[in-house]
Structure 1
Amino acid sequence: MTKSDDAILELLSECGIAIPPRAIAFNIQNVSRPTIDRRLPKLERAGLVSRYDDPQGYTEITDRGRAYLAGEVDADDIEDFEE
């Protein structure tokens, strides 16, 4: 997990709705859109976010993502994260 991952999850948790990558990048200081685009698929594979095809790219935090932020899921317990 990176600082960017935590920032993405925190924003999604705070807003409570699915938002597009552009809005995520706009609302997180010092995290570029390319970083968002690179990290979201990894967060999805880890089960921390859900991404939608329609509307394209919209993303929301999952219950597992909320559990991670609450300290109930350790980063070491997240399998296949970097693949």
Structure 2
Amino acid sequence: MSADSLKEMVERISWFSPVDYEILMFFEKYDIGLTAKSLAYNIEYNRKYVNERMRVLEDIGLFSNEGGIYELTDFGREFLAGNVDEDELPEP
């Protein structure tokens, strides 16, 4: 999914925060496991805010959290690939 496509999708989803776009762009580029603290450092956002948003994105199934390490789920990868319609995303 291109940056423009992802940004357009994020803008259409009313409850998405601007940092959600940054988080998803980071994980699209680097499909790795990461703590919220490391992610916040890499995308230059406040750690507490990133941690809060990661919990929301985890709750809707885009990420899993094992021992504080966040990773994209298969559903998250499908979302990034553009294979998930916005109505398929549960609202937190």
Return the structure number with greater helix share. Answer: 2
Q: CA deviation at 1:24?
A: 0.4
TM-score when normalising by structure 2: 0.72
Separation of aligned partners in 1, 2:52 and 2:36? 10
Aligned with residue 51 of structure 2, among 37, 54, 57: 37
The runs of 5 or more residues in structure 1 that have no matched partner are none
Highest relative contact order (Cα 8 Å, sep 6+), 1 or 2?
Answer: 1
Aligned to 1:68: 79
Task: Report how many residues are paired.
Answer: 77
Q: Equivalent residue for 2:38?
A: 23
- Alpha-carbon deviation of 1:12? 2.0
Structure 2: distance between partners of 1:3 and 1:70: 19
What's the TM-score once normalised by structure 1's chain length? 0.78
CA contact 1:9–1:61 (8 Å) conserved in 2? no
CA deviation profile, 1:19-52 (whole Å, cap 9, x unmatched): 11111001113x2212111111111111100111
